Structure 1
Amino acid sequence: MTILKYHFSFFMCFISLALLAQTGKRNTLNFDKDWKFIQDDAGGAEMPEFDDRRWQYLDLPHDWSIEGSVDRDNPTERGGGYMPAGVGWYRKSFEVPASAQGKKIFIDFDGIMANSDVWINGEHLGKRPFGYVSFRYELTPYLKFGKENVIAVRVDNSDQPASRWYTGAGIYRHVRLVSTDPTHIGHWGIFVSTPKVSAKKADVKIRTKVVNEAGETRKIKLLTEIVDEGGKVLQKIESTQQIPAGESYDFEQNATVKDPKLWDIAQGNLYQAVSKVMDGYKVIDEETNTFGIREFRFEPATGFYINDRNVKLKGVCLHHDAGGVGAAVPLKVWERRLNLLRDLGVNAIRLAHNPFAPEFYELCDRMGFLVMDETFDTWNAQKNHADYGYNMHFDDWWEQDTRDVIMRDRNYASIFMYSIGNEIRDNLDSPEGFKKYKDQQDLVHELDPTRPVTMGLFRPNSQNVYDNGFVEMMDVVGQNYRENELVAAYHQKPERKVIGTENGHSRGAWLALRDNDFMAGQFLWTGIDYLGEADWPAISHDFGLLDRTGGIKAKALQRKSWWVEEPVAYVVRKETNAGGGDWVPDWTPSDYDTYDVAHLEVYSNCEEVELFLNGESLGTQKMPENAAPVSYKTTFKKGTLKVVGRNEGKLVAEQILETAGEPVALKMEVDQNTITRDFDDVAHVKIYALDENGIVNPNADNLVYYNISSLGVLRALDNGDRMDHSSSKGKRRRVYRGEGLAIVGAERKAGKIVLEASSKGLESAKIAINVK
């Protein structure tokens, strides 16, 4: 950034901060822009006078680990994808106008990875070890109004290995500056619930904490408006209360919504509760909370219900990284990923194994995905490959971290359940184990009595939890894998409510859900490949239905045939001759001379399927009732492989695979042609290596060079290759199985971005993206 650009940005920041003083109401400002950063332990950097002129200028969110080099000797080891760790510092200078004196000024961090310390003007505000939690500090007592202030953040993840998967490093989520009147709504102080719901009417309950930090008693009126998606005010509720200085009051208000639009799976119908704190006729604080009107419950014999409709939870587990962008994930990346998963029949997400950024839940609210919100991967007991994990902090921090997670997340319509642990290795066959679980569950119930609590049990029979009374404490019994054990546990005591919290991709796991009414759902490990938890030279594992770029795998096609209602038919082949290798969804072997006998499987939910090779039928087969694929075997021939699916003799589904020749050209496709100048808005550009007939060659691994015009920025380059160690933040990367992905963002000007891709011996490709 040039000095001129920096001064302009500082000037704009000053104008924005001036807004803190312009009205009596709450003001929330994005605080992501114009930070300075160094990846080093810079002693004394917390002091305002520290010289940071040589530091890097950047905007948040920022994950500095993904910017580093993959190295087998990096201390993060297999869990962190062999990415770098260490200490980093962030600093930002800003001015709050003198006219803002008398207000309360706070800074909100959505997440800092990890072991963060924060200072303002040299004053230490606090430390938070847990990198996934959101938190707030008050700045007011230490601010210099009308003068320069300096906030400094030290981030330390040098104690490694700290996780079984990639965590990222730095201030990798959003930051905001908030100003309020001394009398204001408490942090996460509003809780909206819908205790009674029907198609005709719904009861809405709003609990609001108002804090009076003024120097005198104030008579406060709380006005809450219920607003529909069209902006119509459906109801107003008023309550009045005298609140003494230095105290707070919990208001409880009730409303009724007639003929509500219910929030449901794939139906993100949302309402708003607009809460106004008034002193006389003056609004001194205002906050808006979005909520959904819906009802859900578990029944022991029949599983899960939403809005009185019995459904199976067809879920996947997701980690918080997104491949090439690391842990600093633009929201548009999640939106694309969730759409791809929805196409496979997924209706629920388990967050593994920690809370996500707030905007992810908002997205699930809008899209209509159910969410299992999870707090921790460990309690006291250490996990393999995570010597310095949360187990180092559990005793001191579990209560504060749990409180912050639940209070932040309890208004999201998408959340239907909390999980307070994943494969916990603490002794659950002991009074201490019972107490740890019950203490956490009791706190969750205290903060949010509307949702059940579970955990992902690990080898429960070895800990005797089905016989010692432990699972009787659980609202819903959750178990990872070993589906038949969970089935047996239900039959042992049919009053138990059960769910698969983590499951494999096998047909047996699916049948355990499909054929047992009492099984509420399952969550596959995983929906999408993630960084880490892989042995060298791999940097990510292949557990996902989709690879890191969203590329579809054979097991995703099989899962789709089980989970979707519309007719589908897919054919896959064994990758190498005579039944060797993995299943792959193409008809282009890597070596035609050695690929003689093709072993094929067809996945379909149709009554029957028929396979054709170059127009010649290879036979018709009935699809089995037990969800098994049907198999074919044929001599390989170049050309066209087609599968059709029929119901009652009528063709209802079809897929065609064609043999690809050598690649001759690159092709680009973009998911949106216009983006905004916002971190969370990006364009996904898929790159394909095509033969002369426009067919993607799945064996192509060409090195592609990217050039982007000045208005754009390459957020990441990625492919699905688990062994690729090249930088996702560079300007070149190979395609994998003939495909690659460029994630494109915008700089701070409107205009047009031009992205070009070139590769030796291939025709180049170019695409334009508008910036508004």
Structure 2
Amino acid sequence: MKYICSLLFAMMLLVGPIFAQNARKEWALDEHWRFSKGDFEKASSTTFDDQEWQEVTVPHDWAIYGPFDEKHDLQVVAVTQNGEKVATKKTGRTGGLPYMGVGWYRRNFDVEGFDPKQQVVNLIFDGAMSEAQVYVNGQKVGFWPYGYNSFFFDITPYLNEDGLNNSLAVRLENKEQSSRWYPGAGLYRNVHIRVTPKIHVPVWGSFVTTPYVSEEYASVNIKTQLENVPEGTDLKIITEIMDDEGKAVAVKENTQKLNHGRPLEQYLTVNNPQLWSPESPNLYHAQSTIYIDDQIVDKYTTRFGIRKIEFIADKGFFLNGEHRKFQGVNLHHDLGPLGAAVNHSAIKRQLRILKDMGADAVRTSHNMPAPELVELCDEMGLMVMVESFDEWDVAKSKNGYHRYFEEWAEKDMVNMVRHFRNNPSVIMWSIGNEVPTQCSPDGYKVAKFLQDICHREDPTRLVTAGMDRVSCVLDNGFAAMIDIAGLNYRTHRYQETYERLPHSLVLGSETGSTVSSRGVYHFPVEKAAQVVHEDHQSSSYDMEYCYWSNLPEDDFALAEDYDWTMGQFVWTGFDYLGEPTPYDTDAWPNHSSMFGIVDLAGIPKDRYYLYKSVWKKKEETLHILPHWNWKGREGEITPVFVYTNYPTAELFVNGKSYGKQSKTMDGTLQERYRLMWMDVVYEPGEVKVVAYDSTGKAVKEKMLKTASKPHHIELVPEQDAVQANGKELAFVMVRIVDKEGNLCPQDQHSVSFKVTGAGSFKAVANGDPTSTELFHVPEMKVFNGELTLVVESSKEAGEIIIDAKARGLKRSSISIHSK
């Protein structure tokens, strides 16, 4: 180690001044954009006058500001993936928001110190929705149709000679019937400028793998691509690996000759590696410095992790030698009231809520994710299945990706894999979801084409696909050809799939599709599929599901009972905009899903605690449902459920015992995972549950009380402080409570907000899938007593003051520190 430190110090003394002349730099183009919806013939011109356009900050989603209207993307279609054969009127299918049409973004930018002979400038888009046409200084530099993928263009030849006052214009277009859910609109992900030396490591130009991993040491292989290097040039590369604390743990110097476009390749050994896992998300950085004739030409850093992933026939998935089942969820890309516009703190909040529930994995349904999500999964410890497409060459939506598949699929796959192949959280690639091609006679050829790209670009990970036509894929060779068989639902066919496929493994790539609305309970309580109610809500007793799907217990049991099942990715972790099943057929105002374990406002539903009780068995869970405010139900049967990690509990209503219930393997699957008292008679007052451990000892109790009339607003911030960077968000739970602080779970008061000081109002959401109130107006009705307020920090430190008021209630005020 003394040798390593000495060598690094010598390198710094030797090359510091030289490198300063060639240092790469990167910055985000986030502010000072001008935006207008509509098409403009000359908007790409440098002389176009955009002063009347709206000034916006990117990431920006033009459609999230509404209004909600059933006319937006009103469709008369048969949803083939849902088994429909007759076209019906679909309302709210894409969220009821005005995402269709053309929009233009314009701004100027400088590249200070630009030298076209010595530098390369890349313009990088993390995603643009969609069909992006990009112009620099009036010249078209490129086109990228797929709105979910990251892409970049070399804009060096298009810049002004001095690098200053360059104009950038981006035309985006969303066509009608181009999506099955809310896709968002605009420059909804970040845009970057990256300046590098002429000879440089290109975008996504490094590839780090760990071909051998043990507790004693790990072998780290690094391949580094270079551009603009003459054939046969001798190069020296020095790479140092540092741990998360910045401590050097390995260093190696190699001299190599660059031939035939091959990358520079090195092996380094890290002793006593800190392995990456969801429980310990340890990360490393590899910093590579490249020399020609002892002159630094580029310096490039790659973040990675050291871990070992294995898929073993009959036995399942292993991480770092330990058998584990995926406790995963599917996530759509929208962020509820923020729409599709990426925000680091909002994504981090989603992942924290899921981690607290016990989730350890995410499937990016059904598209390439924002880089922020994958980076946060690296840091927070969630495994990721990165998914590419919802359709291939055969259409699901009239104007979907099938229009571009033949020409663009390989380009999109290459970008996806190269972008995320160094992220340790990524454990497999998914090449598609419920694609109609799966039932084509030659569908396996298309699947092989995509899988081969993944294997070529990343030989270290296996490939899966979400398949829902089980008979097709078992009979035509489609499923047998793909590395890992991913089944969407069809739990009754897992055993058959296991027996017929050579993999001897089955993955629940999409599971559940249980539907519920937070705080809504319907009577009588019955297990049933595709249930609709007059209030357009689904019951939070968690007994309703779609006709193609099931309740959570089916998947819990499959994961626990068979080694060869690898766990699940639940549909979905959070509610999302669009697909308001089962209220998608002429059922306006429904416009957001009810599949989520957490609602659109980021408030957990009852089902959250069912998953937590199974996925976090070592952490105490004791949750009672429903609430206990039922004026007019006195004397009526009102079942009580308890979700807990304890095996037994006793229920009391106003001191009267309804007896003990214990989880059992001998009853229904629900009785294996839930404690249910089906004969409880409602009477106002107090519900108490006493939990018992496996020895029969009373270890925990919890109570619900009938609330009195609403008295005041309670504001509960999820964090005490935020960074004063103008981007970080603070989330505040807003609750209507009685005088004693009990939640009023049927209250629908409208609450208005005023945010002053070192922050501003950003959005508000109540989680009601039928609410058409706008997210960006500082007033909204609570849904069953609760909603979430979102505020944004300013760039100045200080206190963010939040005031909330509602007619007839005592107002409330809190402050959050911005530093």
The one of 392, 398, 405 equivalent to 1:394 is 405
Asked whether 1:94 is paired with 2:109, we answer yes
CA distance, structure 2, for counterparts of residue 278 and residue 128 of structure 1: 34
In 2, the alpha carbon distance for the partners of 1:139 and 1:595 equals: 74
CA-CA distance at 1:571 after TM superposition: 5.2
Deviation at 1:429, TM superposition (A): 4.7
CA shift for structure 1 position 485: 0.8
1:211-246: per-residue Cα shift (whole Å, max 9, x none)? 1268x98543222111111111112222224558xx
Query: 2:476 maps to which residue?
Result: 468
Equivalent of 1:83, from 84, 92, 97?
A: 97
1:238 and 1:642 map into 2 onto residues whose CA distance is 67
Of 748, 759, 764, 2:795 maps to 748
Please tell me the residue identity of whatever aligns with 2:409: W
Following superposition of structure 1 onto structure 2, how do residues 296-315 of structure 1 map, counting pairs within 5 Å? 296-315=309-328
Q: Which position in structure 2 is the counterpart of 1:221?
A: 236
More divergent stretch after superposition (521-530 vs 652-661): 652-661
CA positional deviation for 1:604:
2.9
**What residue in structure 2 maps to residue 682 of structure 1?**
729
Contact 1:571–1:643 (CA under 8 A) maintained in structure 2: no
Task: State how 1:349-498 maps to structure 2 within 5 Å.
Answer: 349-383=362-396, 386-430=397-441, 432-461=442-471, 463=472, 465-493=473-501, 495-498=503-506
Residue aligning to 1:764: 811
Counterpart code for 1:90: Y
Secondary structure of 1:152's counterpart equals strand
Question: How many angstroms apart in 2 are the aligned matches of 1:242 and 1:198?
Answer: 32
For the 8 Å contact 2:360–2:383, the answer to whether it is kept is yes
TM-aligned CA deviation for residue 527 of structure 1 = 0.9
For 1:186 and 1:411, how far apart are their aligned partners in 2? 15
Is 1:207 equivalent to 2:227 in the alignment? no
**Structure 1 residue 43: Cα displacement:** 1.9
Structure 1 unaligned blocks of 5 or more: 1-20, 574-583
Flag the 1:466–1:665 CA change in 2: closer, same or farther, 3 A. Answer: same
Paired position in structure 2 for 1:292? 305
8 Å contact kept, 2:444–2:477 = no
Matched, 1:588 2:599: no
Aligned positions of 1:104-119 closer than 5 A = 104-119=120-135
Structure 1 residues 390 and 79: alpha-carbon distance in aligned structure 2, compared to 1, 3 A threshold? farther
**Equivalent residue in structure 2 for 1:622, among 662, 680, 687:** 662
1:551 alignment partner, SS class: coil
Equivalent residue for 2:602?
550
Relative distance call for 1:515 and 1:734 in structure 2 (3 A) is same
Q: Structure 1 645/71 Cα, relative in aligned 2: closer, same or farther at 3 Å?
A: same
Question: Is 1:240–2:265 an aligned residue pair?
Answer: no
Aligned counterpart, 1:59: 57
Offset from partner CA, 1:490-509 (integer Å, 9 cap, x none): 12356422211001151223
User: Any idea what the Cα deviations from partners look like across 1:61-116, whole Å, max 9, x if unmatched?
Assistant: 10111012101111265332010021111111123335544311111110001111
Aligned to 1:11: none
Q: 1:593 to 1:452 in 2, by over 3 A?
A: closer
Distance, in Å, in 2 between the alignment partners of 1:403 and 1:138 is 17
Asked if 2 retains the 8 angstrom alpha-carbon contact of 1:718 and 1:733, the reply is yes
What is the TM-score with the length of structure 1 in the denominator?
Answer: 0.91
- Check whether the contact 1:95–1:145 (CA below 8 A) recurs between aligned residues: no
Q: Distance in 2 between matches of 1:187 and 1:95?
A: 20
* Partner AA of 1:257 in structure 2: V
Deviation string 1:370-392 (CA, Å, 9 cap, x unpaired) is 11110000012222xx3211122
For 2:253 and 2:93, locate their aligned partners in 1 and report how far apart those are by CA, in whole Å: 52
Does 1:261 pair with 2:274? yes
Query: What SS does the aligned partner of 1:645 have?
Result: strand
Q: How does 1:7-46 map to 2 (within 5 A)?
A: 23-46=21-44
- Contact 2:23 2:299 survives alignment (8 Å): yes
Give, as a single letter, the amino acid of the residue that structure 1 aligns with 2:72: N
Structure 2: unaligned runs, 5 residues or longer: 1-18, 75-90, 515-550
Residue type at the aligned position of 1:408: H
Q: 1:567–1:645: 8 Å Cα contact kept in structure 2? A: no
TM-score by length of 2: 0.86
Matching of residue 343 in structure 1 with residue 366 in structure 2: no
The one-letter code sitting in structure 2 at the alignment partner of 1:193 is T
Give the 3 Å change call, closer, same or farther, for CA 288–594 of structure 1 in structure 2.
Answer: same
What pairs up with 1:484-563 in 2 under 5 angstroms? 484-493=492-501, 495-504=503-512, 505=514, 506=551, 507-534=553-580, 535=584, 536-563=588-615
2:536 corresponds to which residue? none
Alpha-carbon contact 1:110-1:175 (below 8 Å) kept: yes
Alignment of 1:642-653 (within 5 A): 642-647=688-693, 648-653=695-700
Distance (Å, rounded) in 2 between the aligned partners of 1:427 and 1:501: 15
User: Is the 8 Å Cα contact of residues 229 and 269 (structure 1) preserved in structure 2?
Assistant: yes
Question: Offset at 1:22?
Answer: 6.8
Q: Within 2, Cα distance between the matches of 1:177 and 1:661?
A: 58
Letter in 2 for 1:97: E
Q: Is the 8 A contact 2:242 2:286 kept in 1?
A: yes
Where does 1:316-331 land on structure 2 (aligned, <5 Å)? 316-331=329-344
Among residues 252, 263, 274, which one is paired with 2:265 in the alignment? 252
Give the whole-Å Cα distance in 1 for the aligned partners of 2:554 and 2:71. Answer: 39
How much has 1:144 moved relative to structure 2? 0.8
The equivalent residue for 2:676 is 631
Conserved 8 A contact 1:212-1:218: no
The answer on 1:654 being equivalent to 2:701 is yes
Correspondences of 1:104-253 after superposition (within 5 Å):
104-146=120-162, 147-157=164-174, 159-212=175-228, 219-243=234-258, 248-253=261-266
SS at match of 1:225: strand
Hey, what's the Cα distance between the residues in 1 that align with 2:188 and 2:276? 31
